Structure 1
Amino acid sequence: MTLRIIPATLRDLSYIAANLRPEDRAEIDCQFDQWSPALLALTALQGFAYVAELDGNPEAGFGAAEQRSGLWIAWSWGTRRMKRCVPGITEFFHAVLARQVAARGAWRVEARALAANELALRWLGRLGATQRCLLPGYGKNGEDFFLYDWTREGWTHVPVSKTTGTETAVADTDSRGQGRAGARGGAAG
């Protein structure tokens, strides 16, 4: 099983969005009145966006986008095979993405998760995010969400061993942890 983290493309993100695992589909469905895989993919391409490929197939998209000066939103969603990508995404998150966002002047990075999505809630905790509050009725049908965040003090200082429980490496990366396709340039998205 070969895992690669590469810069996201509209094609890869559209494929992932069209094949979402049930937990991610439920979370997305209750946040948008209407959405399509292509629209979700286009939205995700704002800021920094990456794809986790498993044996050459795109299985998960993740990234972070600036909402306003200093405030960023982190996101992720994937197919049923996303769980196999989580250790590599977690390492890349700390080795590359967190540093990219910090270098862009982020003071706060937020993530929201459907309260019923226990996998996402556990992963956010392992990523070092702090659960700040319950957002009652945040979903369009009254679904509850939790708000998590990282502040500048903690964004880049969570050790990988705490987040993954194992030492994993992102396959096919260079010395900076970037995929073969290289990193995005200095401009967003």
Structure 2
Amino acid sequence: MTLRIIPATLRDLSYIAANLRPEDRAEIDCQLDHWSPALLALTALQGFAYVAELDGNPEAGFGAAEQRSGLWIAWSWGTRRMRRCVPGITRFFHDVLARQVAARGAWRVEARALAENELALRWLGRLGATQRCLLPGHGRNGEDFFLYDWTRTSQPGESHVSLSKATGTEAAAADTDGAGQGRAGARSCLAG
């Protein structure tokens, strides 16, 4: 299997959004009143947006968008094959995306996950995010979410978010089984 991370296009993100994993669809449904694959894709193109291609087919979209000066929202969602992309997404997150967001002067990057999505919660922790609080009734039907974040480090002279504080390897982040098949799933987050 060949995995490539490429800049997102409206076409690729629309395809992914039209073929979401059930966990991602549930998380998006309870955060947006009215959405379509094209609208979700268009919204995702704000800020930094990437696609993970598996054997030439778009399987996951992910990125980060600035909400206001210094505050960013990280997101990702994908198809049922997204789990196979998690190690590559994790590596790209640390090597590229975290640095891009930091270079833009981010003080805080947030991600929200549906409280019942244990796979997403584990992956966020392995990416180095800190679980800050429960957001009771955050979903439009009263669903609970957890808020995670990465914040600016307190080292003197540093003026950006350190998103590379995760522990473990890409395999640990994906909780792979040795055959490249992730058990942890992928982060399915949309700004709420």
| Residue 156 of structure 1, CA deviation | 3.3
Q: Residue in 2 aligned with 1:109?
A: 109
Task: Give the ranges of 4+ consecutive aligned residues of structure 1 lying more than 6 Å apart after TM superposition.
Answer: none
Q: Residue in 2 aligned with 1:158?
A: 165
Q: TM-score scaled by structure 2?
A: 0.84
CA contact (8 A) 2:126 2:167 kept: no
| Residue 53 of structure 1, CA deviation | 0.2
Q: What residue ranges of structure 2 are gaps of 5+ in the alignment?
A: 154-160, 174-192
Q: What residue ranges of structure 1 are gaps of 5+ in the alignment?
A: 167-189
Q: Residue in 2 aligned with 1:176?
A: none
Describe how 1:103-182 pairs up with structure 2 within 5 A: 103-153=103-153, 155-158=162-165, 161-162=168-169, 164-165=171-172
Partner AA of 1:165 in structure 2:
A
Distance 1:137 1:49 in 2: 28
Q: Residue in 2 aligned with 1:11?
A: 11
| Residue 119 of structure 1, CA deviation | 1.0
* 1:156-179 deviation digits (Å, cap 9, x = unpaired): 33256345328xxxxxxxxxxxxx
Distance 1:49 1:152 in 2: 22
CA contact (8 A) 1:126 1:163 kept: no
Distance 1:131 1:163 in 2: 20
Q: Between the two proteins, what is the percent identity of the paired residues?
A: 87
Q: May I ask how many residue pairs the two structures share in their alignment?
A: 166
| Residue 152 of structure 1, CA deviation | 1.8
Distance 2:140 2:105 in 1: 32
CA contact (8 A) 1:48 1:65 kept: yes
Distance 2:95 2:171 in 1: 13
| Residue 35 of structure 1, CA deviation | 0.3
Q: Residue in 2 aligned with 1:30?
A: 30
